[in-house]
Amino acid sequence: MATLVIGGGVVGLSIAYGLLKQGREVIVIDGSDTDARASRGNFGLVWIQGKGLEAPPYASWSRQSAGLWKQFSDELKESTNIDVAFSQIGGVEYFTEIGALEQEAADLSGLREKLGGDYPFEMLDHAQLKKLVPEIGLKVAGGIFSPMDGHVNPLLLLRALTEAVKRLGGRLQTGHSVTSIEGADHSYSALLADGTRIDGDALVLAAGLGSAEHGEDLGFKAPVRAQQGQVLITEKLPFFLKYPSGRIRQVNEGGVQIGASKAETDSEATDLSTLQELARYAVDVFPLLEHVQLVRSWAALRVMSPDGLPIYQRSAKYAGAHFVTCHSGITLAAAHAGLLPEWIDGRNTAPDLTFFSESRFDV
């Protein structure tokens, strides 16, 4: 019998890939093109700095994943011949206000202390940063360099994962929304809109925002909400930007990606004032962008838990059902592929993910 993975975004596919590598039979069921799909509209960062300031286990988990990313991308290349354009030479956060820079450095120092000292970063003033990134403008007060950060082409990642899942014998049922799930211990049936029924002996609910609809039936709270992010991309430019940042990066094809805003809405429409704000910030940081053409803008929806941290939850109702969600599915893809399958299998060697259970939302 197979493990049913509901959701074929980067989270579902990473887990499916990992489970297949462990020798499990896997069926991924992915919904329709009208679904929100964060995996197709994100910023592509494998990002550590600033994550888990208030939750050190999240900082450690993200970092563990970043540490696995090189091997993960090499493996995908070997099995699919798709190079996901992963680079991890460090990243820079730019600050236009000195106070905000100093505050961030103090927060990161606090986190470093909580983590026992192993959390590399460097605060750079304008002159120091200019040596590293000569193109910065006069409005940049300084920045924080972190050697842990990197980026990837998220669409190539999705394609590589899809291909890798197929090559390992995984079944992909795409364009089919699950309308209901019948569950019992180690026995699951996903019912599709066209009446098809797909059976499995285990289930992973990884349907992004779609998880909210099915969580309760399986014994989960699945408290996810949408948070909109808008992104801009410029025409292709000669390469000048070696280090990605949380809001500006040059993609492997040459365009400069600028983003992403944050708004508590489930609208997938862009608006001019948000895009202007993004563009203004980018020009403040890199004045050379002032006269380049913007070729595309879009909005996509993040999948957010109430506290922004991932949720890894075993069902208390039925044995063999798991719920997984997170708001940094690119960063965590390597851990989801490499380490989550052990947790799903309940092995002794699995990471301890108790911190990320839904019990933290009990009132």
Ligand X SMILES: Cc1cc2nc3c(=O)[nH]c(=O)nc-3n(C[C@H](O)[C@H](O)[C@H](O)COP(=O)(O)OP(=O)(O)OC[C@H]3O[C@@H](n4cnc5c(N)ncnc54)[C@H](O)[C@@H]3O)c2cc1C
Residue with Cβ nearer ligand X (187 or 270): 270
Q: Find the binding residues for ligand X in span 233-262 (CB under 6 A).
A: 259-260
Q: Which of 2, 27, 29, 334 binds ligand X (CB under 6 A)?
A: 29
Q: Which of 17, 30, 162, 339 binds ligand X (CB under 6 A)?
A: 30
The region of 42-50, 197-205, 268-276, 342-350 touching ligand X under the rule CB under 6 A is 42-50
Q: Find the binding residues for ligand X in span 259-278 (CB under 6 A).
A: 259-260
**Residue 75 near ligand X by CB under 6 A:** no
Q: How many residues bind ligand X (CB under 6 A)?
A: 42
**Residue 39 near ligand X by CB under 6 A:** yes
Q: What is the largest CA-CA distance in the chain?
A: 64
Q: Which of 140, 207, 222, 339 binds ligand X (CB under 6 A)?
A: 207
**Residue 222 near ligand X by CB under 6 A:** no
Residue with Cβ nearer ligand X (70 or 139): 70
Q: Which of 2, 3, 8, 104 binds ligand X (CB under 6 A)?
A: 8
The region of 201-209, 271-279, 284-292, 314-322 touching ligand X under the rule CB under 6 A is 201-209
**Residue 156 near ligand X by CB under 6 A:** no
Shortest approach of ligand X to residue 208 CB, angstroms? 3
**Residue 327 near ligand X by CB under 6 A:** yes
> Where on the chain is the footprint of ligand X (CB under 6 A)?
6-12, 29-31, 35-39, 41-45, 47, 177-178, 206-208, 210, 229, 231, 259-260, 300-303, 325-331
